[in-house]
Structure 1
């Protein structure tokens, strides 16, 4: 009838919605996708939002082209770890990643980063990046750290390059030099989440194992508080997943 459960034939479904830390949620059927055999609940949950966000920023809005060099500021976050893989899949030239420690830099390299810069070993990573690119800068910067890093990202991008922003973990009230912005023709492109087409595209790539979910830690639902503390302390690489089983 008119109110028949349209998702029943899918058996296993996945979605992201407000109030996610619950055993039951109600979502539009059109936003659900079937999880194929061989893909775990944890991987499917970890992939959805961050890959959509990263794809929409890098590909749909940012227009990343094959051969372009990319800098990703921050190695461990879900969107940034997804961005490394998407940039590699899109045929990026060199992928540079700024990480907060040696362990996160190593993991970023395993995901596809060509060059990593450990913040523990430098006073100014934008200067290091500038030297690594022979004083050219990169074509695209992914900076979701925000206030603490945007001025450095402005110096790391080449003239005519793009800075892509989907968040600001250190704050949203960043200060930049507007003269630098217009003099060097720098484009700052913001976005959030993505379209239904982005969602279908990236989940198909995940289901084909062309993109791989990065699961940092898994907690049972009863330990949701500890999961949030892990996120707040940046004590993981990739996504934190709540297991409802």
Structure 2
């Protein structure tokens, strides 16, 4: 390789290596901080599912599936059926192949669409103690600083809590997440930056942050291999001083 071309490769390697080194360093540190135990006030409430009262189950799984099929007027391909116990009722949760969840009252056989009342019921069922009063229940159609990633649309349930207790219940699959102001700050400076979730607020595309991380990972690999290649060229370069002697 010509000397001029080699210098150009060195410059390109340095321009890429420095920012990629900072990127990898931050990825490692933010990932380590995120996995460390850090119980927030909401997490200290010890969310857990309640035991199921099987005496309230009056319909079978096949009956529950038929009720869902009648409501949707289509042949569903079922992936999973679970029985969930709540404070006063027991529900069948039926998931189809696309990940959408349907709920049927296991006692009365009533089909329950995910509305504000059911969303609040799902949140309350995860805590052994009574939650603070609800100050707001809002349907969220777009990601924001509080809910940067996750399935949309979702219900946001805000409680009258001194630490800003908020729950999100995803409408498509019923996924539930809880947070408070301490948890949000920790998530902003660790996981959301680690996964580049803030990019979804700019482009409104949940796949864009993952694609960006994938591309940056490829650039990091390119920097590593280019460094090894340049080191090999330097090692292969003949020692002019030794030849002169």
Larger radius of gyration, structure 1 or 2? 2
Structure with higher helix content:
2
TM-based fold match above 0.5: no
| Larger RCO (CA under 8 A, 6+ residues apart) | 1
